[in-house]
Amino acid sequence: MSCIKWVFSFPEILVLTGVEYKNLIDQNWKIFQGSCEMTDEEKQKLQEISKAFDKKFCRRCDYCLPCEEEIPIQFVLGLRSMVRRMGTGALQTPMFKNMLEKAAGCTECGDCMEKCPYDLPIPDMIKSNLDWVKAL
């Protein structure tokens, strides 16, 4: 909820919220109807989240591409979110199978890391997501 309040603090931005869970619609609406002022506690929490995810969050800019192994990096790094939205059955679709097969071929050459403006450890993140899928 703090994130929505943060975005609302910029009046020049049109906020189009997306949700992963149905109950977030009600939470977003509650914020929209009430105060959009962030409390000090909420500001602190956002700073902690930002710091924790700074080097672990793909912004999906695609500056890391092209990949020599043709890995669709942003999709592999966003895999967990996609599975939360679509369910584990999505992993059985040709698109996901192809993506995971390509990701498994990552040579850890580091070209993507050199191009990433956020200095993400992309090969490590790819490996982590592949391990996550195997554990499902």
Between 79-86 and 122-135, two packed helices, what is the crossing angle to 10 degrees? Answer: 30
127 pLDDT tier (thresholds 50, 70, 90): very high
Alpha helices in the chain (DSSP H): 2-8, 23-33, 40-53, 73-77, 79-86, 94-104, 111-115, 122-135
**pLDDT above 90 (res 16):** no
pLDDT at residue 70 in the model: 97
Which distant-in-sequence residues (6+ apart) come within 8 Å of 84 by Cβ? Answer: 20
Enclosing H/E stretch for 109 = none
- Global pTM value: 0.71
| 35-90: pLDDT as tens digits | 677 889 988 988 888 888 888 899 999 999 999 999 999 999 999 999 998 999 99
Q: CB neighbours (10 Å) of residue 109?
A: 12
Q: What average pLDDT does this structure show over 20-30? A: 81
**pLDDT above 80 (res 15):** no
28 touches 73 (CB < 8 A)? no
| 100-112: pLDDT as tens digits | 999 999 999 999 9
